[in-house]
Each structure stands twice: as C-alpha cells, then as structure tokens.
C-alpha cells in the first residue's frame, strides 16, 4: 500500500546550501533566513552541522543560530552530526532531531569525516545507546553517495541494503538516501528506493537529491511515484559537499514545491512566501547565482499580472 499523497519538504539550505560557501554568512542573517523559511510553511528545517569548525568554518556559530531559532513554533529543527561530540552539542543546543551522516563509500567517508564506514557505524551505535533513551529525541541516518561516488563509482543495490540493515538493526526508523554528487538517474532511483522500502517496511525513507546533472526533479518525481514522501531541498538551489569533487546544487525548494503544488500534491508550503525567503537569500548573497528556475521565472501569471488559478481549482 502506498503512503498518503502529501509530502514533507525538508529545507536543507541553511546547512547544505551554506556549507560550501567561502563567504561567512552573518549569524543574524542565518537566523533571519531560517525565520523566512519557517514563515513559508516549511515544517522541517536543517539549520547546520555540529562539526569541527576547522573543517567547515561556516558552522562555527551553529550554537548561536540554534539558540535563536529553537523556539520557532511548529517547526522541527534538525542538524547533521558526524560523531558523539556533535550529537551531544546538538542535543544541548535544543536540537531534538539529529541526523547522523556517513558515506557508504569508504573513500568518501575517510575524506568527509576522517573515519572508515565501519567506524562510523560504531559511532552511530554509541550515539543510539545514549540518545535513544531520550523520549523526545530522534536519531536519523543519512547515507551519502548511495547513488554513486566520485571516488568509487556505483554500488550494487545489495550493498546499499546491507548499510540500511545495519542502521535499522540499531533502531533507526528514518533513513535519508543521498545522491551526494548528482550521479543518480530515475531508473536507478526507482530500483534503490523500491528495494529499500520493500525490504524495510518499518523504516521511513527520504531522498536527498542534487541537481548536478539536471536530473534532480526527474529523480524526485520517480521517487514520489515509487512511494517516497520525504524530500530534502535547498532554498535557491544552493548546495554542495566540500569534500566531494563536482558536487553542486540541491534541488531548489521553490522548484520542487512548485512541481508538487501544481500536481495537487500537498506540501504545506506557500510559494509566494517561499520566494520572499529566496529573495532574502539573494539579498544576503548578492554575488551568488541562484539556480532555482522558479525564482528567475516567477509564478505563472496572466499578461495583466493577475495569478491564474491552479487547474484543479477552476470552476
Ligand atoms: Zn547534499
């Protein structure tokens, strides 16, 4: 049976969108951006990563950002954590949905978090031991390079399933399958997401897709048709992994929300308000070319400037 038709769009712009920038965004600008995004109706926002500031200086103020936004009503704040220390700091900062990330590619994991994939799994086990006893805290896993790795190429579906099994055995019930460098295609997305959902019905899967090679929305639509209901996206289409050569923008939140809204799939996001958030992002990063198609084209309007009703809302 397929899950309901509505989708959750997880806004990862404040994390994936900003982590690759050489410009240090001011703390108050990050806070204001997150507030704009929340005002558009986005109900899950990834505010950053609790990592060594030497590795990713953009997140050296993550505790201050968390302190400013932790009481945003109706919004679940998440953050990436690569290790126990990061998980502890995130928890102390009021984050109650921690995303433990590791790469199924040994080579990428060594560069990204300086440990083997096996060591990352041991770290996750120790995080689970401590935090799974907190009733209001959720630990999720994000598996990087599932759809291909710039160092190791593509992985057989069986190998991917083994990593999902490893985290599911620890009690993880939400897993994000990440196309870290935009190697994925719709056929592969269908095969991998279907295999995961069939083998682990107790796990909720989301996808994190990059539009590096122009297939972001095609992959997202295929994932939706296969039954996925959680999609990461980044405001403006920013994004990229500093430790994966060739990684570029995420699916733009505006574009995926536009696609689903026009299809009549509930996202809960108000597009005009979301475009205000994008404009704010452009204002704080005036030299950054944003790849969101909707941001540049605007919402469909009649020649006289009035909006068209959506097809299904016509009398
Ligand atoms: Zn990413």
The pLDDT score that the predictor gives to residue 6 is: 94
What is the rounded distance in angstroms from the CA atom of residue 151 to the CA atom of residue 286?
33
The pLDDT score that the predictor gives to residue 252 is: 97
Ligand 1: distance of its center to the CA of 4 in Å? Answer: 26
Task: Please give the average per-residue pLDDT across 153-181, as a whole number.
Answer: 97
If you search the block for the tokens 């190791």, which residue do you land on? 152
The pLDDT score that the predictor gives to residue 300 is: 85
214-265 pLDDT, tens per residue? 999 999 999 999 999 999 999 999 987 667 666 679 999 999 999 999 999 9
CA angle 138, 144, 147 (to 5 degrees): 130
Ligand 1: distance of its center to the CA of 6 in Å? Answer: 23
Catalogue the active-site residues: 241
Name every residue whose Cβ is closer than 8 Å to that of residue 60 and which is 6 or more positions away in sequence.
53
- Cα of 265 vs its chain's centroid, Å: 19
17-64 pLDDT, tens per residue? 999 898 899 999 999 999 999 999 999 999 999 999 988 999 999 999
The pLDDT score that the predictor gives to residue 306 is: 65
Ligand 1: distance of its center to the CA of 307 in Å? Answer: 33
Give yes or no for residue 315 having a pLDDT over 80.
no
- Cα of 124 vs its chain's centroid, Å: 19
The pLDDT score that the predictor gives to residue 94 is: 95
End-to-end CA distance of the chain: 32
Give yes or no for residue 313 having a pLDDT over 80.
no
How many CB atoms are located within 10 Å of the residue 55 CB? 15
Where do the domains of the chain lie?
A: 8-313
Fold of 8-313: TIM Barrel (3.20.20)
Ligand 1: distance of its center to the CA of 246 in Å? Answer: 12
What is the rounded distance in angstroms from the CA atom of residue 73 to the CA atom of residue 310?
29
Give yes or no for residue 190 having a pLDDT over 70.
yes
| Residue 307 near residue 299, CB atoms below 8 Å | yes
Structure tokens belonging to residue 50: 């609790």
Ligand 1: distance of its center to the CA of 87 in Å? Answer: 19
Ligand 1: distance of its center to the CA of 3 in Å? Answer: 25
Ligand 1: distance of its center to the CA of 313 in Å? Answer: 35
| Percentage of residues in the chain having pLDDT higher than 70 | 93
Ligand 1: distance of its center to the CA of 178 in Å? Answer: 7
Ligand 1: distance of its center to the CA of 208 in Å? Answer: 6
Give yes or no for residue 133 having a pLDDT over 90.
no
What is the rounded distance in angstroms from the CA atom of residue 77 to the CA atom of residue 57?
20
Ligand 1: distance of its center to the CA of 308 in Å? Answer: 34
């Amino acid at each position: 049976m397929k899950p309901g038709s509505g989708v959750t769009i997880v806004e990862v712009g404040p994390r994936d969108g900003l982590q690759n920038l050489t410009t240090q965004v001011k703390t108050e600008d990050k806070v204001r951006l997150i507030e704009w995004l929340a005002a558009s109706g986005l109900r899950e926002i990834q505010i950053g990563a609790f990592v060594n500031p030497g590795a990713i200086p953009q997140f050296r103020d993550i505790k201050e950002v968390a302190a400013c936004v932790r009481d945003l009503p109706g919004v679940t704040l998440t953050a990436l954590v690569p290790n126990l220390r990061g998980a502890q700091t995130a928890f102390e900062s009021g984050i109650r949905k921690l995303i433990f990330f590791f790469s199924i590619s040994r080579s990428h994991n060594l560069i990204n978090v300086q440990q083997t994939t096996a060591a990352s799994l041991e770290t996750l086990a120790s995080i689970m031991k401590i935090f799974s006893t907190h009733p209001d805290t959720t630990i999720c896993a994000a598996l990087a390079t599932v759809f291909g790795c710039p160092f190791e190429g593509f992985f057989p579906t069986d190998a991917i399933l083994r990593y999902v099994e490893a985290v599911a055995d620890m009690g993880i019930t939400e897993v994000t399958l990440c196309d870290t460098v935009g190697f994925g295609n719709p056929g592969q997305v269908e095969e991998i997401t279907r295999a995961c959902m069939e083998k682990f019905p107790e796990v909720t899967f989301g996808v994190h897709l990059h539009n590096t090679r122009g297939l972001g929305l095609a992959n997202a639509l295929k994932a939706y048709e296969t039954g996925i209901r959680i999609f990461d996206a980044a405001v403006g289409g920013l994004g990229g992994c500093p430790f994966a050569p060739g990684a570029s923008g995420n699916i733009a939140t505006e574009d995926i929300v536009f696609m689903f809204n026009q299809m009549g799939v509930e996202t809960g996001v108000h597009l005009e308000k979301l475009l205000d958030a994008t404009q704010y992002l452009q204002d704080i990063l005036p030299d950054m070319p944003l790849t969101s198609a909707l941001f540049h084209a605007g919402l469909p309007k009649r020649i006289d400037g009035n909006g068209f009703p959506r097809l299904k809302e016509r009398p």
